[in-house]
Chain A
Amino acid sequence: MKKNQIIKKSILFAVCILLAFMFVFPIIILLLNSFKSLKEIYMSVLSLPDALNFDNYKQAFSELDYFRSIRNSLTVTITVTAANVLCCSMAAWVLVRYKTRTSTIIFTAFSVAILVPFQCVMLPLLSLMGKLHLISMPGLMLVNLGFGSSMSIILFHGFIKNVPAELEEAAAIDGAGQIRVFFTIVMPLIRGISATVAILCVMSLWNDYLLPSLTINKKGLQTLPLKTFLFFGAYTKKWNLGSAALVMAIVPVVIFYVCCQKYIVKGVTEGAVKG
Chain B
Amino acid sequence: MRKSKGVFWLFLAPCLLTFLLAVVIPMLTGIYYSFTDWDGVHSNCDFVGLRNYIKVFQDSYFRNSFVFTILFVIVSVCTVNILAFGLALLVTQKIAGSNLFRSIYFMPNLVGGVLVGFAWQFIVRDVFDSIGQMLHMDFLRGWLSTQMTGFWAMVIVVTWQMSGYMMLVYIAQIQNIPDNLLEAAAIDGASGFQQFLKVKLPLMMPAFTIGLFLTMTNCFKLYDQNLTLTNGGPSKSTEMLTMNIYNTAFVTNQYGQAQAKGIIFLIVVALITVSQLLTTKKREVEM
Q: Which residues of A contact B (CB under 8 A)?
A: 9, 12-13, 15-16, 19-20, 22-26, 29-30, 33, 41, 44-46, 83, 87-88, 90-91, 93-95, 97-98, 103, 106, 109-110, 113, 115-125, 127-128, 132, 142-147, 149-150, 153, 165, 168-169, 172, 178-179, 181-182, 203, 206-210, 225, 228-229, 232, 239, 242-243, 246, 249-250, 253-254, 256-257, 261, 264-265, 268-269, 272-273
Asked if A178 meets B1 with Cβ closer than 8 Å, knowing A121-B23, A145-B15, the reply is yes
Identity of the chain B residue whose Cβ is nearest the Cβ of A13 in the assembled complex: B95
Contact in complex: B105, A239 (CB < 8 Å):
no
Bound CA–CA A118/B91 (angstroms)? 35
Contact in complex: B221, A118 (CB < 8 Å):
yes
Contact in complex: A121, B165 (CB < 8 Å):
no
Bound CA–CA A150/B91 (angstroms)? 33
**Extra 18 A-B pairs, beta carbons < 8 Å, given A26-B160, A225-B112, A265-B106:** A13-B96, A26-B119, A45-B122, A91-B15, A95-B12, A106-B12, A115-B270, A120-B263, A123-B26, A123-B30, A144-B22, A145-B18, A178-B2, A182-B11, A209-B112, A210-B223, A239-B126, A242-B118
Bound CA–CA A128/B20 (angstroms)? 11
Write the nearest CB–CB distance from B221 to chain A, whole angstroms.
Answer: 5
B195 at interface, CB cutoff 8 A: no
Contact in complex: B259, A269 (CB < 8 Å):
no
Asked if A123 meets B33 with Cβ closer than 8 Å, knowing A88-B15, A109-B24, the reply is yes
Interface residues on B, range: 35 or more
B14 at interface, CB cutoff 8 A: yes
Interchain Cβ contacts under 8 Å between A and B, 16 examples = A13-B96, A16-B101, A19-B87, A29-B122, A46-B134, A94-B12, A117-B221, A145-B18, A146-B19, A149-B19, A150-B19, A207-B114, A209-B113, A232-B118, A268-B106, A272-B210
Contact in complex: A117, B15 (CB < 8 Å):
no
Q: Which of B15, B131, B242, B274 sits near A119, CB closer than 8 Å? A: B242
Contact in complex: B12, A117 (CB < 8 Å):
no
Decide if the interface of chain A is mainly helix, strand, loop or mixed: helix
Write out, one digit per residue, whether chain B residues 6-38 have a CB within 8 A of any chain A CB (1) or not (0).
Answer: 011001101111111111111101100100000
Q: Which of A119, A147, A250 sits near B22, CB closer than 8 Å? A: A147
Residue numbers in B under 8 Å from A264 (CB-CB)? 110
Contact in complex: B115, A249 (CB < 8 Å):
yes
Q: Which of B1, B21, B164 sits near A128, CB closer than 8 Å? A: B21
Residue numbers in B under 8 Å from A165 (CB-CB)? 1
Q: Which of A9, A29, A93, A117 sits near B266, CB closer than 8 Å? A: A117
Contact in complex: B123, A232 (CB < 8 Å):
no
Bound CA–CA A261/B106 (angstroms)? 10
Asked if A121 meets B27 with Cβ closer than 8 Å, knowing A115-B269, A228-B115, the reply is yes
Contact in complex: A253, B111 (CB < 8 Å):
yes
Residue numbers in B under 8 Å from A249 (CB-CB)? 112, 115
Asked if A46 meets B21 with Cβ closer than 8 Å, knowing A12-B93, A246-B119, A250-B115, the reply is no
Bound CA–CA A74/B33 (angstroms)? 35
Bound CA–CA A146/B19 (angstroms)? 4
B75 at interface, CB cutoff 8 A: no
A-B CB proximity, top 5 nearest: A146-B22, A207-B112, A146-B18, A121-B26, A172-B1
Q: Which of chain B's residues 98-139 have a Cβ closer than 8 Å to chain A?
A: 98, 101-115, 118-120, 122-123, 126-127, 130-131, 134
Contact in complex: A116, B169 (CB < 8 Å):
no
Residue numbers in A under 8 Å from B118 (CB-CB)? 228, 232, 242, 246
Write the nearest CB–CB distance from A265 to chain B, whole angstroms.
Answer: 6
Residue numbers in B under 8 Å from A109 (CB-CB)? 19, 24
Write the nearest CB–CB distance from A238 to chain B, whole angstroms.
Answer: 11
Contact in complex: A115, B266 (CB < 8 Å):
yes
Write the nearest CB–CB distance from B169 to chain A, whole angstroms.
Answer: 5
Residue numbers in B under 8 Å from A12 (CB-CB)? 90, 93, 95
